[in-house]
Structure 1
């Protein structure tokens, strides 16, 4: 009986402890939420734009203007320009609810903060067509900036975020073309054509679990075509899938301009097939002439409006690694 009573008392004590634990947890959650709400309420915001649809600003005497249409940012002066969407989303997020370090009430006039002749003016328009013009004045020794809303009398002190985000030229907003997200191990065949000469290599998997493979030249139907050393072609596959665009001198090329980049009569054409998620895909890269300082090749992917620059060393590696095979 005593043992039974002890178990009952123990279970009751455990239940009480659990209830206390849950109660303390709920209290801590409520307390933390109250603290967060209090901190949020104490923040000072210069703007409150729920849905930013356009942003423009002047930098070094040149205005850059972007508008969001159908969920996508476009450059107002050229709708073909490939805008880096995440960069514009970041700026829109900053200006939609621009937090101030503090509000400078009862202080000096705008001229004391450089706001009478602002170093930058950012215009923001929301879905309601309401415009807010943000003036940026002098910087402080702490790296902050004085700011104000045009038409209002109160200056603010804000962090450097807005200045930094808008301290960008048009090229900084260009979204460079991205190549397939494939690894060298995904590549199943490679064709390299230079002039009238073309080399074709195909990979044959022997054991998926062990990852053993064989490379063949021209065809995998005959053991005579088997490549003795897989290393050069594995390196080639890795090199091809690692290629990255350095810059884009022309994002809307037409056929009449291809000769300016040596792409009308390319020095090489590289094609590889890769398997991703059980599906075979093909990628083709055309290599033109060297750029003016010979640091990069002009390149173009199949039917792309972009002429890109890829570093010479990276392309040369792809064009020479198969020598002797």
Structure 2
């Protein structure tokens, strides 16, 4: 074997040895990380352990909120038709179903000394068997945490104050509003307006409607569903908004999206006295407020 071949064999051997050492070190690091994670998990204090939660009830100083799981879906008990974004109760269940404590107070004082004789906040989770678990929040401990106790155990813990953020969303924050499509003169095919039994049609294939299509597309394209007048209107109350079948204006906009033809239905009601009109979309039960100016553009009428 000549000198060059010997050098090559030595280099290959060194490389192989380095690879073995490298993978050995990586294995040791992963093992240590796993061990550290297991030790940390073992030392973590969980003060609740609730599975299959079916009812959430809490009060953080702004009245009681109650959510129930019905047929696999979370609903707002006071108004089951409310368009609830289920990610909110799911997050509450994730946080409080297995609530992590920072520490347990050993040989603590009376509950009153921590504000737990008259809790500031409370939350109760009920599982599918009807078993209830209640968490009570007392005073702020002064280090971004609260004193808490669970049920009637009288054991006092501290938990990070951030957990309360899951309970401090307003009902409006938890509403899942309708999605509104992107419509413009480039993809609007046709608009049909029906009012008082009379129908007006603007068709993009009609050369005489070019300006009309551009005008109504300008209105449809700037609609924003962010102002809500009623989250779950009952049929008997539609007339209050001028949205009953007899009073409303119906707008059917045919547009293209991803090479497919779709139809958006808008129901336009009366004005609210503040420069807006009441509007509903498709088969939703939410009543929105859209400026009268935008509605006039959609209807292709002068202000």
TM-score range, shorter-chain basis?
A: 0.7 to 0.9
Match in the other structure for 1:211: none
Match in the other structure for 2:241: 261
CA distance in 2, matches of 1:310, 1:319: 14
Q: 1:273 to 1:20 in 2, by over 3 A?
A: farther
Give TM-score, length-normalised by structure 2: 0.83
Where structure 1 has 5 or more consecutive residues not aligned to the other structure, the ranges are 203-215
Match in the other structure for 1:225: 208
- Aligned residue pair count: 298
| Cα drift, residue 68 of structure 1 | 1.4
Match in the other structure for 2:70: 69
Matched ranges for 1:168-187 at <5 A: 168-176=169-177, 178-182=178-182, 184=184, 187=187
CA RMSD of superposed structures (Å): 3.1
Aligned with residue 239 of structure 1, among 215, 222, 240 = 222
CA distance in 2, matches of 1:283, 1:229: 18
Moved over 6 A (4+): 228-231
CA distance in 2, matches of 1:138, 1:37: 32
Q: 1:287 to 1:13 in 2, by over 3 A?
A: same
Matched ranges for 1:137-286 at <5 A: 137-176=138-177, 178-182=178-182, 184=184, 187-191=187-191, 193=193, 195=195, 196=198, 198-202=200-204, 216=205, 219=206, 224-225=207-208, 227=210, 235-236=218-219, 238-240=221-223, 243-254=224-235, 256-264=236-244, 268-286=249-267
Match in the other structure for 1:205: none
Match in the other structure for 1:309: 288
Matched ranges for 1:114-153 at <5 A: 114-153=115-154
Deviations 1:13-66 (A, max 9, x none): 222222222111121111222222222222222111233221112354743222
| Cα drift, residue 111 of structure 1 | 0.4
SS in 1 for 2:125: strand
CA distance in 2, matches of 1:226, 1:121: 61
Matched ranges for 1:279-294 at <5 A: 279-291=260-272, 294=274
CA distance in 2, matches of 1:194, 1:94: 50
Contact 1:54 1:125 in 2 (8 A): yes
CA distance in 2, matches of 1:157, 1:59: 17
CA distance in 2, matches of 1:123, 1:77: 17
Aligned with residue 319 of structure 1, among 263, 276, 298 = 298
Give TM-score, length-normalised by structure 1: 0.78
